[in-house]
Amino acid sequence: MALTPQSATAQEVDTLPSITWGQVGSFAVAGATFGFSHVLNVNTGAPECIPCDPQDVPAFDRWVIRPPVSGFATASDLLIMGLGTATLAHTGAGQGGMRRMLVGVETVAWTVALSELSKAAIGRYRPVLYTEDAANEADALKNQRSMPSGHTSAAFAFATAYWLNNPNVSTPPKILAFVAAAGVGALRVAAAKHFPSDVLVGAMLGTGVAFAVHHIRF
């Protein structure tokens, strides 16, 4: 029986090694990029305003300004861990699964690295620095690195990589992965950890990196 183009491509991928020297180098550079973002001498001093003026925030983001809600933040942590575990485990099953799974991990590694570097470069304040709690939260570096949302970028990297790297998986679980990724973003906003625009940029970053890595590896 003749192979369809999709199944032929899948069999070709399955014959490739699980990891290549190019991927080893890719992981190393991603790690170095992540580390560099944390040694950059930016956003390290006290905020310029404690608290900052909410009127400086665009109207479509301003409604989020309030003290953080720990319950929603914890829920976002649990949801992204579940999303990552489920998508990687499902990707790793079957012939050639290890290679596809490592491409997914590579996608998330680069997403996190670029997210952290972008946070440092942009230096946007988190919603809490516009509230009465600003003085108590001013020393936390993360509160001066709000854009993009790291949780959201990683969640969409997981979901997009799962969709792209698994051509033989049916559509419903792929859609469910995106629903979960969107849920992570919504919870970050509900927790007042990020502005909606932080979440939107994070979603675009994670999705874009997933497409780029998939194009390179497949």
Q: Tens digits of per-residue pLDDT, 44-79? A: 778 888 899 999 999 999 999 999 999 999 999 999
Whether residue 88 lies inside any domain: the answer is yes
Whether residue 52 lies inside any domain: the answer is no
Quick check: 10 pLDDT over 60? no
Q: Identify residue 147 by its one-letter amino acid code.
A: M
Whether residue 174 lies inside any domain: the answer is yes
For 75-125, the pLDDT digits (tens) are 999 999 999 999 999 999 878 899 999 999 999 999 999 999 999 999 999
The mean-pLDDT minimum among 8-12, 19-23, 100-104, 119-123 falls in 8-12
pLDDT class of 16 with cuts at 50, 70, 90: low
pLDDT of residue 82: 98
Quick check: 43 pLDDT over 80? no
For 184-214, the pLDDT digits (tens) are 999 999 999 999 999 999 999 999 999 999 9
* Region of residue 161 (phi > 0: left; psi between -120 and 50: alpha; otherwise: beta): alpha
Whether residue 163 lies inside any domain: the answer is yes
Cis-peptide into 148, omega within 30 deg = yes
Whether residue 139 lies inside any domain: the answer is no
Task: Tell me the average pLDDT across 139-151.
Answer: 94
Quick check: 8 pLDDT over 60? no
What's the total number of domains in the chain?
1
Whether residue 35 lies inside any domain: the answer is no
Structural domain span for residue 159: 69-124+144-217
> Residue 87's closest CA among 184, 155, 185?
155
Whether residue 36 lies inside any domain: the answer is no
pLDDT of residue 68: 94
Whether residue 133 lies inside any domain: the answer is no
- For residue 86 the two structure tokens come to 């489920």
Quick check: 41 pLDDT over 60? yes
Task: Tell me the average pLDDT across 19-43.
Answer: 88
Pinpoint the alpha helices (H) of the chain: 5-14, 21-39, 59-62, 70-92, 97-122, 134-137, 150-165, 171-190, 196-217
d(CA 88, CA 100): 9
pLDDT of residue 113: 97
